Amino acid sequence: MRATRFTHVSIHAYDFEESMRFYVDVLGMRRVPSPDFAQPVEWLQLGDQQLHLFLSDGPAPAYHHIG
């Protein structure tokens, strides 16, 4: 089977509020319901693509991914 698209990208943010302002106010993404995780996480959507943004002040974690 060949992949035809991806559904989301998951990345971290050092400054969660500033990152949210950028993705929502500048890029026009909208918040969508997200699961309750142990750390702050927001799921944003633009068209049928999603960005899963989570708070982390360390280096890029192993759970960055494209799904």
- 17-58 tens-digit pLDDT: 999 999 999 999 999 999 888 888 999 999 888 988 888 776
Number of other CB atoms surrounding residue 52 within 10 Å? 22
Q: Do 51 and 29 contact (CB within 8 A), yes or no? A: yes
pTM exceeding 0.85:
no
| H-only helix segments in the chain | 16-21
Q: Do 46 and 33 contact (CB within 8 A), yes or no? A: no
The pLDDT value given to residue 54: 84
Q: For residue 8, what is the enclosing H or E element?
A: strand 8-13
d(CA 60, CA 51): 16
